[in-house]
Amino acid sequence: MHSHDPAPLYAAHLDELRRRADAALGRAGLDHLVVPSGTAHFHVFDDRDYPYAVNPQFKAWVPLTRTPGSWIVYTPGRRPRLLYLQPRDYWHVVPRAPEGWWVEHFDIEIIRTPEQALPHLPPAGRSAILGEPQSALGDYAPNNPPAVIAYLEYHRAFKTPYEIAMMRRASAIGARAHRAAEAAFRAGASEFDIHLAYCAAARQDACELPYGNIVALNEHGAVLHYTELDRDPPADARSFLIDAGAGYGGYACDITRTYARARGEFQDMVDAVDAAQQAMCAQVRAGVDYREIHLDAHLALARVLRDFGVLKLSPEAAVETRVSSVFFPHGIGHGIGLQVHDVAGFAESDRGGTIAKPEGHPYLRLTRTLAPGMVVTIEPGIYFIDMLLEELRGGPHAHSVDWARVDAFRPFGGIRIEDDVVCTGDAPLNLTREAFATA
């Protein structure tokens, strides 16, 4: 059902984008969709630029992530156009001539300066121009009509088969790099050197990865977004949590694994979280409210904590008293695609509106009901976070915890297992497990 080669799937992807653009423009009563790829941002009081990040609305159309100053122009009923900036520049390597499976579907105009785009752009007053303010060329400035953005972002949740194939490729790169990182951990490498081993295996440097690698040994696994990368290995590397992705043609994967150096009860807890995570992945089916997966995850993780003697109360009571949130203080996941945290996670419809998060769960990033084509992460975790544990210990539910058991697990930091899962019309497709199986 899902092909692995994106090339033959691109034409149908483009047809779908055109249908969506037609509908979005119709909503806004506009005639043209115009999307700048974006331009460099600079450090304050400095001539140094930040790593360029392409406008996601641009890379939805073409798998180009390193072509600042270019524009997509689409007018319903016409072939899409690409104004492609290939500057005359001897300071930098300029973008290569357009190549790849998508080229034949566009009318391509090579421009040599950003301003040369102007005569090719349709009237601003009749156009939805989607981008950041600094993409403006003089008065020709992004206007980001809310009706157009709401429509496109809502529908972007439903990936085309082409997009699934692109994410498969990103996942294959990520799985390969995760294997290299695990090997580096087992060889005793520092966080920094594990990170380098990951990048080397992915053939992507830190600026190309879809987010900053989380490479955490021992207690560092308890810091949800730990990105420090210690240069020296610890004397005793007991555990390893790595949350690291990869990109392919602008699409991301987002993968987390946790390992113990030796057999023992931390590895047993990792295995228990892994089993629970697989059951959660099986819930990724059309018609399921993603909020339910999140709430069920609290029960499942509280059960693991009780089974390991950390919690002394029932899973239901742990969720009811919010004790489960001390150990699992983030959301079960999010949509993923062109952006690691894909947009429109709370969108009620393609006209706007918000689906609320469950009360007491402020960090959940997706509240929509699953439908075929959606790709979501499933990333349960159990952490031993000093700050949250201290609060619990000083509060009315301190007695619901066996603190000696907490102390036994604290040196290992935490556990997270994260896969990227496609909702289909049938059984879910786990892109991450598939990639590891073939890595």
Between residue 189 and residue 248, which ones bind ligand GLY under the rule CB under 6 A?
211, 243
How many residues lie near ligand GLY (CB under 6 A)? 5
Q: Does 420 bind ligand GLY (CB under 6 A)?
A: no
The CB-of-214 to Mn ion minimum distance in angstroms stands at 7
How many residues lie near Mn ion (CB under 5 A)? 5
CA-angle at 61, arms to 57 and 63, nearest 5°: 100
Considering beta carbons, is residue 270 or 311 the nearer one to ligand GLY?
A: 270
Q: Does 254 bind ligand GLY (CB under 6 A)?
A: yes
Considering beta carbons, is residue 83 or 202 the nearer one to ligand GLY?
A: 202
Between residue 272 and residue 331, which ones bind ligand GLY under the rule CB under 6 A?
none
The CB-of-223 to ligand GLY minimum distance in angstroms stands at 13
Q: Does 350 bind ligand GLY (CB under 6 A)?
A: no
Considering beta carbons, is residue 193 or 379 the nearer one to ligand GLY?
A: 379
Considering beta carbons, is residue 211 or 346 the nearer one to ligand GLY?
A: 211
Tokens 């981008």 locate to 131
Structure tokens, 116: 């040369």
- Radius of gyration (Cα) for the chain, nearest Å? 23
The listed partner (ligand GLY, Mn ion, none) that binds 211, CB under 5 to 8 Å by sort, is: ligand GLY
The listed partner (ligand GLY, Mn ion, none) that binds 213, CB under 5 to 8 Å by sort, is: none
Sheet holding 239-248: strands in order across?
A: 214-217, 239-248, 251-260
Tell me which DSSP letter residue 358 carries.
P
Q: Which residues contact 138 (CB under 8 A, 6 or more apart)?
A: 118
Q: Which residues contact 29 (CB under 8 A, 6 or more apart)?
A: none
Q: Which residues lie across from 84 on neighbouring strands? A: 110
The listed partner (Mn ion, ligand GLY, none) that binds 192, CB under 5 to 8 Å by sort, is: none
What does the buried/exposed string (b/e) look like for 372-400 if buried means 16 or more CB atoms within 10 Å of the residue's CB?
ebbbbbbbbbbbbbeeebeebeeeebeeb
The CB-of-186 to ligand GLY minimum distance in angstroms stands at 23
C-alpha to C-alpha distance for 348 and 309, rounded to whole angstroms: 41
- Among positions 254, 342, 419, 434, the unique one binding Mn ion when judged by CB under 5 A: 254
Q: Does 101 bind ligand GLY (CB under 6 A)?
A: no
The CB-of-178 to Mn ion minimum distance in angstroms stands at 11
Q: Which helix (H) or strand (E) holds 429?
A: strand 429-430
- Among positions 16, 342, 350, 379, the unique one binding ligand GLY when judged by CB under 6 A: 379
Q: Does 350 bind Mn ion (CB under 5 A)?
A: no
Q: Does 39 bind Mn ion (CB under 5 A)?
A: no
Q: Does 342 bind ligand GLY (CB under 6 A)?
A: no
Local structure of 38: helix, strand or coil: coil
Structure tokens, 153: 């972002």
State the binding string over 390-429 for Mn ion (x if CB under 5 A, else -). Answer: ----------------------------x-----------
Q: Does 163 bind Mn ion (CB under 5 A)?
A: no
DSSP 275-305: HHHHHHHTT--TT-BHHHHHHHHHHHHHHHH
E strand map for 86-209: 107-111, 127-129
C-alpha to C-alpha distance for 313 and 302, rounded to whole angstroms: 9
Considering beta carbons, is residue 16 or 379 the nearer one to ligand GLY?
A: 379
- Taking CB atoms, the residue at the shortest distance from ligand GLY is 243
C-alpha to C-alpha distance for 291 and 276, rounded to whole angstroms: 17
Q: Does 432 bind Mn ion (CB under 5 A)?
A: no
Alpha carbon distances (Å) from 350 to 19, 215, 281, 347, 382: 14, 37, 26, 7, 35
Alpha carbon distances (Å) from 254 to 155, 271, 348, 370: 21, 20, 25, 19
The listed partner (Mn ion, ligand GLY, none) that binds 193, CB under 5 to 8 Å by sort, is: none
Considering beta carbons, is residue 256 or 283 the nearer one to Mn ion?
A: 256
Binding segment for Mn ion (CB under 5 A), chosen from 23-31, 186-194, 371-379, 381-389, is 371-379
Residues forming contacts to ligand GLY in the complex (CB under 6 A) are 211, 243, 254, 379, 418
Which residues sit at the interface with Mn ion, rule CB under 5 A?
243, 254, 256, 377, 418
